[in-house]
């Protein structure tokens, strides 16, 4: 299993799962209570039914603890492991009713996290050999951001900011409200100095003119080169504008590319020499990895 990421404590995980447990179980699992003898024991096997990267073992183990019955778990793989259909992920033994009540919540979280980890690993692999950081975004499921971003890490990606509080990210609407690129950057620096923080400042630019204005003013730690990749009518991936932008920055600060990032476009984007590539699709368009749990009474 993996260890907790720095932005998630054991207490926070327990609180998240307690809310999820209450949502699913409520006053009690009436079907299991009606059909399964209270003292029956069983063995359950979690199996992968599709190829991908498994994530969420640590989370699933916590889910089964919420069942308030002795359950032993043996994971046959680690978080972040590639699997093929038929791979045995884990074997569980204990009270049959507890196993059945916890089954869906555990699988739901594992399947979502595994889907994110799988998509991330594919993106990381597609970006080789250039190896920019593959970043997530804030386009996560509300209430599940910590798990979504944890799954990105388990898939080999890198977490971008966790929320609105740990990085200045000046986007087009902030620039419009501040009165321009220079004004927005100056305001961010004043805020940073006033509040005695060393948090980074990232600035979004969408055109080469905006880039030139940003470079002329200075003050950004990261430049977000947004929507500078285009797919032409004949299917060609055009990164010429992005390449020009990366060349103009010339290593004076970090660069991040976003917009139109897919498995098809990520390699040409990476080849421009950009430092990082962010993709909201890693978390906002999750295809869950198919996992199942079979149970046998002992």
Residues assigned a catalytic role: 104, 139, 171, 204, 226
Q: Interior CA angle at 111 toward 138 and 113, to 5°?
A: 30
Q: Per residue in 273-287, is it b (16+ CB within 10 Å) or e — as a string?
A: bbbbbbbbebbeebe
CB 123 within 8 A of CB 279: yes
- The CA distance from 139 to 125, in Å, is 22
Q: Which of 102, 27, 90, 101 is nearest to 64 (CA)?
A: 102
User: Comparing C-alpha atoms, which of 192, 201, 138 is closest to residue 169?
Assistant: 201
DSSP secondary structure of 136-184: --S-S-TT-HHHHHHHHHHTT-B---SSTTSSEEE-HHHHHHHTSHHHH
Q: What are phi and psi of 217, to 5 degrees?
A: -85, -35
């Amino acid at each position: 299993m993996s260890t907790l990421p720095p932005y998630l404590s054991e207490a926070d995980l327990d609180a998240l799962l307690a809310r999820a447990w209450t949502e699913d179980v409520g006053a009690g699992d009436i079907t299991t209570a009606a059909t399964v003898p209270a003292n029956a024991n069983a063995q359950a096997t979690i199996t992968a039914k599709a190829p991908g990267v498994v994530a969420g073992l640590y989370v699933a183990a916590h889910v089964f603890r919420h069942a308030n019955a002795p359950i032993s778990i043996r994971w046959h793989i680690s978080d972040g492991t590639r699997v093929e259909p038929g791979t045995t992920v884990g074997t569980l033994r204990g009270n049959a009713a507890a196993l059945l009540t916890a089954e869906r919540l555990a699988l739901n979280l594992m399947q979502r996290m595994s889907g994110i980890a799988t998509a991330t690993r594919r993106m990381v692999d597609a970006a080789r050999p250039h190896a920019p950081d593959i970043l997530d975004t804030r386009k996560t499921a509300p209430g599940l951001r910590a798990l979504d971003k944890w799954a990105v890490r388990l898939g080999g990606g890198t977490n971008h900011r966790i929320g609105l509080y740990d990085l200045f990210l000046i986007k087009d609407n902030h620039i419009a409200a501040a009165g321009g690129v220079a004004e927005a950057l100056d305001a961010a620096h004043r805020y940073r100095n006033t509040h005695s923080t060393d948090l980074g400042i990232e600035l979004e630019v969408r055109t080469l003119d905006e880039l030139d204005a940003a470079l002329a003013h200075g003050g950004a730690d990261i430049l977000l080169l947004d929507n500078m990749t285009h797919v032409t009518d004949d299917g060609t991936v055009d990164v010429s504008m992005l390449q020009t932008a990366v060349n103009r920055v010339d290593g004076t600060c970090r660069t991040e590319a976003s917009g139109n990032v897919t498995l098809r476009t990520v390699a040409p984007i990476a080849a421009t020499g950009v430092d990082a590539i962010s993709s909201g699709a890693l978390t906002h368009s999750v295809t869950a990895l198919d996992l199942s749990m079979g149970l046998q009474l002992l």
